[in-house]
Structure formats: structure tokens, C-alpha cells
Structure 1
Amino acid sequence: MRPRRVAIQPDKLWREDNPRHQSYSARWTELLTRDGHEVVPVDVFAPEAFERIRACEGFLWWFPPLPFPRDAAKRIILALAHATDVVLFPDWKEAWHYDDKIAQTYLLHAARIPMPETHVFWRYGDAVAFLRDARYPLVMKLAAGFFAQRVTLIRNRAEGEKWARWLFSSGLSNLHRPFRRLVLKEFVSLWRRHARTLDVSHGGEEQGYMLLQEFVPGNDFDTRVTVIGDRVFATRRYNRPNDFRASGSGLLDMDPAKIDRDALALGLHTARTLGAHSLSLDILRHHGQPVITEVSFGYEAAQVAIRPGHWRGDALTWSEGSVRAEDALLEDFLSRLPA
């Protein structure tokens, strides 16, 4: 392959002494430089950013699910996809619905991808009318958020109407205050250390809508499937004690023999249907079939690297050995650059 010119927006999310430290950009820069390619570091918030990116064949940017830089990044990616020929990761098909459960709901519905019955209400009266005759419990989600701190269970009509009044008036920023104090405080502290590229001060209340999803009983775990190209990685994530949520529990089982092949096949099919080069999916079982509750292009690189191997292609052939997400993403990205 001839030398390429690739723009990269730096990312660095965790402190150096934290085992969860990751930087996609550092690994991409290391690999590209080693192989003789030119890396052009950019600051997407600087006036000259677009000209620097336009002078390159490709642009790489991993960004976290925080209001900033997430909201800015989605707009920038869409602008570049609309007006340039630069090859992007993520591209617009992966970025536009990132950390937006409402957008994901509409996308999965439109693509006829199996998911639990999910409703988005934009009018208070419609939400209350639905809650009046709904079958409980229901899962309520805020559109943005991670580690399940913005997901809760509604057990009856009174609870549902209470949440509806909040959402259609002053709004909500979080559904689990103790979790917010104990966990998000640490994340905010870490991210503030990297204020040059991240700024957690950009936030706000979620309001003016209500997102409700059918509760799927009988699931002590979900299956986290990650698709990179034709590679499929998967892990069981067990629920927290006395909780219905698996996201962020840290209770992982990476035994490949326990992974349902139809969940793997659904993950690969969904990524291809949505045109995603990278996609992480949370999968439950409903009436014996796999269903998807959330999708995202972004995920912790370590959650891929710690897996003992992966499945590949339509035949889902097992391939033994650890793979770094950054490496697989870069390999596929380079293959998409013009000859």
C-alpha cells in the first residue's frame, strides 16, 4: 500500500494509572507511523480544522458519549460526509444516532431489526394515555447516557405518570442519584483533566419526550455483540444483584461456548443492514429469539481486547486469539481509502 495521509483528532479519556485507560488515536498514530503513513493531528475546534482534514485522504476520530464533544462531533462528521470526499471513521451512518436512544429506536424500526416493543412520545397527553392502559413493568430510558444510569423500571401507572410530569415540565438529567454521586463524580473528575479536548460542562436536562420500552423478563444477562467489519466479538454481561440491567455491571462471562449463534448472526446482519463498519449491540432473548435494545459505534477498546477470540464472516468461523479494536478498525479503514 502506498503511503497515506490521515488526519486524526486526539482522544484520551482515562488517567495513565487507571487500567481502563484508552486512546484510540494514540494506537492509530503508532500503527500508521510505523507503516510509513503520514499522520496529521487536528484540533477540530480550531478555525483551520476543515482545511487540514480536506487535505487528507481520511479522518479518524473516536469520541465519548458526553454532550461535549459528542454533539459537536456528530455535526462535524455530518458536514464532512456531506461536503467532502474524505473517508471517515466514524462515518455519518455510524455517528448520527450515537448515544441517542430515540434515533436508534427509529432506525431499528425503519430497518425492521427485531427489538422489544418501544414507544417514543412527544406529547404529554399521548404518554399519559398510553400509561393508562399499559402493561407493567415498563423500561423507561432517557435518550442519552451510559452505564445504565439513565434507565429505570416503571412498575405501575402512578410511577409512569410521575416520570411523565417531570419529563414534560422541568426535565431530568439522571434517574439514579446514588449512582450519579458515586460513579459519575469519578468520571467527571477524570474527564476534566483533559479539558483541551473534552468539556463536561456542556449538559442539560432531558425533556419534552418519553421513551418507553417493553420489559423483557427472564434475562439474567444480556449479550454484548461487537461487530468490526466481518469480525464478531461477544460477551455475556450479567445483571447487577437485584437489578434488571447488565450495562456497567462488570460481571462478564467471555466463554465463547455460551454465546448464542443467532445473537452473533443478528449482530452481523444489523451492522450490514445499517451500513456500519463498527457496531456494538446489546441483545436480549424474547420469546426464544434475539432482540436488540441498543446500538452504538463507540465502545471501550479493552472490552474487545480481553476476549479470547472472535467469529468471522457469514459462517461465523471461530478465530482464536485476542484482537485490539483499534487495529481492526484501522485495517478496515485503510482498505476503504481510494486506490
Structure 2
Amino acid sequence: MKIAIHHRPGSFSDRWIAYCEKTSIPYKLVNAFDSDIVEQLSDCDAFMWHHHHAVYKDVVAAKKILFALEHAGIKVFPDFKTGWHFDDKVAQKYLLEAIGAPLVPSYVFYDKQEALAWAKATIYPKVFKLKGGAGAANVRLVRSEGEARKLIGKAFGRGFPQYDRFAALKERFRKFRQKQASLFYVLKGIGRLLYTTDFAKQQPNERGYVYFQEFIPGNDSDLRVIVIGGRAFAVKRFVRENDFRASGSGAIEFGREAMDERCVALAFEVNKKLGAQVVAYDFVYDETGNPLIVEICYGFAVEPYDACPGYWDEGLNWVEGGFVPQEWMVEIISKD
């Protein structure tokens, strides 16, 4: 087994490479953006690429290349069942509904008048989301029909930029106040008001659809359960101050006693239906205390999960001790 790896410093690939070297798994580094990438993989059995939703070249090319290789019989990470719905909350709505997973009730419209009629009849608040974005980006609470109508009008008009410079700057200030980021980090955000990112320059506005979810009150946190093969680990993420969003808050609890094993069991159950290599499931609770899935994603930050004290196997047996989840990904790919 020889694995080709597209290396992006700071991504999963750092640890994939280290694990291959530690265990003497043959590998080679490739540049997925080379025109002859398929030819470069002719002597490899597998290809791994931690593509990112905010890297424009990744957005344009990754799924096309990975799924083409998978069609040709080359093992890839992430594979189709793991990655086709990545960074697409609308796709996740259809997928989770199709398999009967307990999704937070979600609504998508492709017609302005239908959306406006729904907005007039529904009860508020609701949560508005663009299909792409992580860390609670492109997510807002809608408290009235008037607010919903404005969002619907924009969705079927000029649309929404996927990178909101002002919202991003506000988030940088929040992290600075909570001592999660430096002053330079804030100043860089101010600079982005004048000189935006390459991603923002290249990515077109989101338009032609509008997506809402039910607002589930009473949750001061969410529970993220990450399933990789037959193992799972979890963290509790607390909502931001004076906010309803937990993703990206930086306030995390890792201890096993804080985790709800019902969510772990449910994540294993759903993942069997999905047939995915890796999925992170974000859970909240309805008014009766039942867990609901907010959204899913194959990718996650690297370092924050190093503090997890252990993991569960598929039998919900707890395995105490540190681990490197990226190594499990290589194990999945390297199996015959």
C-alpha cells in the first residue's frame, strides 16, 4: 500500500505524514493542483487530501479529483460518502432526512414567493444559514417576519458574500476580548476591510435559494461527536456570550462526565447508514431533552481535540488515554 498525500501545512496532512513515517507506510507528497495529478498517482494505491472550505482552489477542484479517482478504483480520503455533502448544509438536510436521522427541522426554498409565504405563516425565531461556512459563520437568528423578508429578498436578489468582512472582524474582536487571539489578529481583520481574501474575490455570492432551521431554545452548549471508523470522541462546546451559537466559541469541555452517551450511540447509528469514513455530528436538545443533529462535517480543527481524555468503541466501551484521530484515518485508508 502506497499513499499519496496532498500536503497543506496545519491540516490533517501534518499528522498523516508523521504517522506514515512512524509506521513505515510508503507514501509520497503530491500537489493536487498539478494538471498531471492523475498520472502522478499511477504508482499509488490511495490518495488523501484534507481539503478546506475556505481555500478557493480546494473548493473548485477537490471533490472533482477525489471522486474521479474513486471511480477509477483508487482509495481516497475523504471518499464520496464522506465528502459529497461537505460544507453544504442544504445537501446535509436532504441526506439526513433521507436516512431518517433526527435533524433539527430545516426548510429550503428556491422560489421567492414560496419563501415569503412561509415567512408570513411561520413562528419566530428561526435560524438563517447559508449552505457554506464553518465556525458559526453565515449564521444568524431571525426574530421576525420583517427580518426574514429582508433576508429572502437579498437571497433572491444580489445574494450574500460567503465571506462577510464585517462579521469576521466582529468575531476577531470577540476572540481578542476573551484572550483567545492577539492584537495583530484584530489588526489583520481591519486590513481585510480594505483588502479582502482571495477566497472572497473568487467565490460568487450565494443566491437563488434560502435556508432556515428551527431555533431550539434552552441550549447553553452543543455536543460534537466525531466518528472515525469504529471509534468516536466528543467535546461539549458552550455558546458565546449573549449569543446562541456554540461553534467557534472556543469554550470547550472535554471530560467524559460532560458527554451524553445517547449522542455517541446515535452518531454511530447514523454513521452506519451514511457509510462515511469520518463525520463530526453536532447535537442540541429539543424541549423534551431528545438529541437533534444540527449539521455534519468531515473536517475539524486539529489541535483542540488533543485534550480529549479518551474515546468510545462501537460497543460504547470507553477507552481511556490520549490518541491521534488523524492516525485512524490513515489506518482506514491503508487497510486492504
Q: Same fold (TM over 0.5)?
A: yes
Task: Measure the CA separation in 2 of the matches of 1:174 and 1:85.
Answer: 34
Find 1:132's aligned residue among 116, 120, 126: 120
1:71 to 33, 50, 60: 60
Letter paired with 1:245: R
What SS class does the counterpart of residue 202 from structure 2 fall into? coil
Instruction: Classify the secondary structure of the residue corresponding to 2:334.
Output: helix
Cross-structure match for 1:301:
302
Q: Indicate whether 1:291 and 2:292 are aligned.
A: yes
Letter in 2 for 1:26: D
Change (3 A) 1:203 1:168: same
**Structure 1 residue 119 displacement after superposition:** 0.7
Letter matched to residue 250 of structure 1: G
Distance (Å, rounded) in 1 between the aligned partners of 2:205 and 2:282: 25
1:304 Cα deviation (Å)?
2.6
Corresponding residue for residue 5 of structure 1: 2
Match of 1:193 in 2: none
Q: C-alpha separation between the residues in 2 aligned to 1:33 and 1:219?
A: 43
Alpha-carbon offset, residue 186 of structure 1? 5.1
Q: Which amino acid aligns with 1:74?
A: K
1:152–1:175: 8 Å Cα contact kept in structure 2? no
Worse overlay, 45-54 or 275-284:
45-54
1:135 match: secondary structure:
coil
CA distance in 2 between partners of 1:180 and 1:54 (Å): 42
Q: Give matches, 1:173-212, under 5 Å.
A: 173=161, 178-183=166-171, 200=199, 201-212=201-212
| SS of alignment partner, residue 161 of structure 1 | helix
Alpha-carbon distance in structure 1 between the residues aligned to 2:95 and 2:148: 25
The whole-number CA distance in structure 1 between the counterparts of 2:309 and 2:104 is 30
Of 25-34 and 84-93, the range deviating more from structure 2: 25-34
The residue correspondences of 1:1-339 to structure 2 (distance < 5 A) are 4-12=1-9, 22-66=10-54, 67-82=56-71, 84-173=72-161, 178-183=166-171, 200=199, 201-286=201-286, 287-313=288-314, 315-335=315-335, 338=336
Secondary structure in structure 1 of the residue aligned to 2:127 = strand
Deviations 1:44-86 (A, max 9, x none): 111220112243111111111114312311121121122x111
What RMSD, in angstroms, separates the aligned Cα atoms of the two structures? 2.2
Looking at structure 1, the residues matched to 213 and 28 of structure 2 have their Cα atoms a distance apart, in angstroms, of: 44
Alignment-derived partner of residue 17 in structure 1: none
Tell me if the contact between 2:162 and 2:203 (Cα under 8 Å) persists in the aligned partners: no
**Do the aligned partners of residues 5 and 182 (structure 1) sit closer, same or farther apart at CA in structure 2, a change above 3 Å counting?**
same
Once the two structures are superposed, residues 154-203 of structure 1 have per-residue CA deviations (whole angstroms, 9 ceiling, x without a partner) of 1010000000000100001259654312557959x79xxxxxxx953432
Equivalences, count: 315
Structure 1 ranges of 4+ moved more than 4 A: 174-177, 182-187
Partners of 1:36 and 1:253 in 2: CA distance: 35
Whole-angstrom CA distance in 2 between matches of 1:77 and 1:242: 41
Structure 2 letter corresponding to 1:8: I
Between 285-294 and 69-78, the greater mean CA deviation after superposition? 69-78
Does structure 1 conserve the Cα–Cα contact (< 8 Å) formed by 2:254 and 2:308?
Answer: yes
SS in 2 for 1:47: coil
Q: Percent identity?
A: 33
Q: Secondary structure at the match of 1:245?
A: coil
The residue type paired with residue 153 of structure 1 is: L
Aligned partner letter, 1:75: K
Q: Flag the 1:230–1:172 CA change in 2: closer, same or farther, 3 A.
A: same
Q: CA deviation at 1:30?
A: 2.4
Q: SS at 1:291's partner residue?
A: strand
Residues 165/186 of structure 1: CA separation in 2 closer, same or farther (3 Å cut): farther
Residue identity opposite 2:252 in structure 1: L
Give yes or no for contact 1:68–1:199 (8 Å, CA) kept in 2: no
Structure 1 position 332, deviation (Å): 2.2
Three-state SS of the structure 1 residue aligned to 2:327 is helix
One-letter amino acid matched to 2:155: L
Q: Which amino acid aligns with 1:303?
A: P
